Chain A
Amino acid sequence: MVTVRIHGRGGQGVVTAAELLSTAAFTAGKQAQAFPSFGSERMGAPVMAFCRIDTRMIRTREAVTHPDVLIVQDPTLLHQVELFAGLSGEGYVLINSTFSLDELGIGEFLKSMPSDHVSVVPASDIGIKHLRRPIANTPMLGAFAALTGVIDLAAVQSAMRQKFPGSLGEANAAAAKDGYDHVVTHPAGERSGKDHARAN
């Protein structure tokens, strides 16, 4: 089983991200479960959502306390919420930012993790490019596909086209592709979303 925890704020599509991830896994023939853990149910309040992906039926309903993959959609949560609680030393971390890990103040903290398991993606910038709003969730899911290989980009894009029919789905799929490409073209060690942001 692969467990994913996504952190963000109310209104940023955190719950939708977990839903899309589960649909992508379902589309790829896997079993998947996604559910949210709301804070105060208002815009801007910390929100987390969970996704489990497995080849067998998923029965457990407990919160994901030991994620294999951590997705941080809003870096302003870094010093406010216990984001990294329970993260496995062999886990994966994806952060939406244009700053480097050191600039974010977590370079030292994440040093012990395999360098190709950590990526910083300028997902909000990618969202602005494709959706004219700082939508970070779909670029982050593209990045998820590239970083973890748990599901492929096509499945992620298919989930977005199912959820948002028409041009909106296409724009999200394109944003996911950019998120994917960012991880592929910024191999281990280059942990900053900066280059990409400048290029765009």
Chain B
Amino acid sequence: MRAQIEGSQAVAEAVVLCRPEVIAAYPISPQTHIVERLSRMVKGGEVGRCQYLNVESEFGALSVLIGASAAGARTYTATTSQGLLFMAEAVYNAAGLGLPIVMTIANRAVGAPINIWNDHSDSMALRDAGWIQLYAETCQEAADLHLQAFRLAEELSCPVMVCMDGYILTHAYEPIDLPDQSEVDSFLPPFSPVQVLDPSDPISIGAMVGPEAFTEVKYLAHRQHLRALTLVPDIADSFEQQFHRESGGLYRAYRMTDADTVIIALGSVIGTIKDTVDELRDEGIAIGCLKVGCYRPFPAMQLRAVLESVTRVIVVEKDLAVGIGGIVSADVRMALNGLPIPVHTVIAGLGGRSISAESLKHMVRDARAERLSEPYFLDLNMRVVDEELARRQEERQAGPLAEQLIRAVKAIGTKVV
């Protein structure tokens, strides 16, 4: 039924429709509304025989799920930012053990300096841990992706992260259509694990592997992961057939026919970019955009096929690899290897800075005029940067950077940024 609800509530409802059996989570903003709602629903007896464990930490949360999933339960958790980093060791273990756990990442910046707002630093930090990563453009898609994620995870026996932008989606109210239980049941079959810990038929999982076989174990995990490149679009197609809307998939193209310039991005900023593309098209600029919906595995060949005739690619990414620049753009460059297509890196929206159509249009015009620095930081306040650099040149013990910059701008929450 279509209703005006919050993204987090929609995700919680969608997870419940997937009939989870064990949920373990530790609350952290902006994931809190999802797990609060889930714990209430489990406590209220609305989630069948599901158990909700209020654990002592994120590390505990995922560790509990590793055990529960190995024992054959459908498992779910959600976290963000420092919480994801705190569970990092278990994140690798869940993937290495091939456990089909589904985890929502309410994307948030990683400190220091501490920042509760949205960017993709958290999920990007663990992009290579062996989990499939899906990114949602809207609250509707965030909810839908959970149905697809459980099916994908369980078909591959591989964990899946559903990444949704913190606050921008988790705390947004918009019209969302949630399916009913029978529809979800016919889309998502009961969990049939490929490996189960069973006391009556004991096995051990998680053996130590030496140099004789470690490469082969990793190679097979890589092969298995790449199978998602076929399964993700298949599942998205089957979702569309049943629910009559487009959700998920490896990528989605928007106004790409005859486009010479293409903006690539992940997550909710695609909405703003689509509006920007429309406005630039009205000015006569041949531009389109490409949403990467599945970032791990990375659909390199698929992107190469749709991009090979364009003249310029701009990757707008909400992350920064300190010391090199872009993360997504490095993958896009690899996908376009050997083709004469420049790939620009645009770092945007860090720590919750709003990404405006106005700034994007300005950036696109600069890119087309070959005026973009590499990497390019959208809306960087050079006045503050220059002042701070000058001050630091004069004084060796110039004091903590974060505190200085807060003084140079204004207190948190006093400006629309």
A: residues with CB less than 8 A from B are 5, 15, 18-19, 22-23, 26-27, 31-41, 45-48, 58-65, 80-82, 85-86
State in angstroms the CA–CA spacing of A198 and B222 once bound together. Answer: 73
Q: Does B269 contact A (CB under 8 A)?
A: yes
State in angstroms the CA–CA spacing of A74 and B356 once bound together. Answer: 27
Assuming A19-B173, A35-B171, A61-B271, is B357 touching A47 (CB within 8 A)? Answer: no
State in angstroms the CA–CA spacing of A65 and B271 once bound together. Answer: 17
Per a CB cutoff under 8 Å, which of A19, A32, A33, A61 touches B269?
A61
Q: Is the CB of A36 within 8 A of B171?
A: yes
Within 8 A of A (CB), among B264-312: 268-269, 271-272, 274-275
Q: Is the CB of A32 within 8 A of B412?
A: no
Q: Point out the residues of chain B lying under 8 angstroms from A32, CB to CB.
A: 4, 173-175
Q: Is the CB of B354 within 8 A of A58?
A: no
Q: Point out the residues of chain A lying under 8 angstroms from B3, CB to CB.
A: 26
Q: Is the CB of B173 within 8 A of A64?
A: no
B: residues with CB less than 8 A from A are 3-4, 6, 29, 116-117, 165, 167-168, 171-175, 268-269, 271-272, 274-275, 352, 354-357, 412-417
Q: Point out the residues of chain B lying under 8 angstroms from A48, CB to CB.
A: 413, 416
Q: Is the CB of A59 within 8 A of B174?
A: no
State in angstroms the CA–CA spacing of A85 and B417 once bound together. Answer: 11
Q: Point out the residues of chain A lying under 8 angstroms from B269, CB to CB.
A: 61
Q: Is the CB of B175 within 8 A of A26?
A: yes
Q: Is the CB of A38 within 8 A of B116?
A: yes
Q: Point out the residues of chain A lying under 8 angstroms from B173, CB to CB.
A: 18-19, 22-23, 32-35
Q: Point out the residues of chain B lying under 8 angstroms from A5, CB to CB.
A: 416
A85 to chain B, nearest CB (A): 6
State in angstroms the CA–CA spacing of A42 and B177 once bound together. Answer: 32
Chain B interface mostly: loop
Q: Is the CB of B272 within 8 A of A59?
A: yes
Q: Is the CB of B413 within 8 A of A40?
A: yes
The 7 listed contacts between A and B (C-beta, < 8 Å) are A15-B171, A22-B4, A26-B175, A32-B173, A35-B168, A62-B355, A65-B356
Q: Is the CB of A38 within 8 A of B4?
A: no
Residue of B nearest to A59 (CB): B271
Q: Which of B3, B4, B272 has the most CB of A within 10 A?
A: B4
Q: Is the CB of A39 within 8 A of B416?
A: no
Known: A22-B4, A58-B174. 12 other contacts (CB 8 A): A32-B174, A39-B414, A41-B29, A58-B271, A59-B275, A60-B272, A61-B168, A61-B172, A62-B356, A63-B416, A81-B415, A85-B416
Per a CB cutoff under 8 Å, which of B167, B172, B271 touches A38?
B167
Residue of B nearest to A80 (CB): B414
Q: Is the CB of A81 within 8 A of B171?
A: no
Per a CB cutoff under 8 Å, which of A36, A41, A65 touches B416?
A65
Per a CB cutoff under 8 Å, which of A23, A31, A63 touches B354?
A63
Residue of A nearest to B270 (CB): A59
B32 to chain A, nearest CB (A): 10
Q: Is the CB of A33 within 8 A of B174?
A: yes
Q: Point out the residues of chain B lying under 8 angstroms from A47, CB to CB.
A: 413
Assuming A15-B171, A65-B354, is B275 touching A60 (CB within 8 A)? Answer: yes
State in angstroms the CA–CA spacing of A63 and B174 once bound together. Answer: 15
Q: Point out the residues of chain A lying under 8 angstroms from B4, CB to CB.
A: 22-23, 26-27, 32
Residue of B nearest to A85 (CB): B416
A181 to chain B, nearest CB (A): 26
Q: Is the CB of B167 within 8 A of A36?
A: yes
Q: Point out the residues of chain A lying under 8 angstroms from B412, CB to CB.
A: 39-40, 45-46
Q: Is the CB of B414 within 8 A of A46?
A: yes
State in angstroms the CA–CA spacing of A106 and B170 once bound together. Answer: 36
Q: Point out the residues of chain B lying under 8 angstroms from A65, CB to CB.
A: 354, 356, 416
Residue of A nearest to B268 (CB): A61
Q: Is the CB of A45 within 8 A of B415?
A: no
Assuming A32-B4, A65-B354, is B171 touching A82 (CB within 8 A)? Answer: no
Residue of A nearest to B278 (CB): A59
B415 to chain A, nearest CB (A): 5
Assuming A47-B413, A48-B416, A86-B416, is B172 touching A35 (CB within 8 A)? Answer: yes
Assuming A26-B175, A35-B171, is B6 touching A19 (CB within 8 A)? Answer: yes
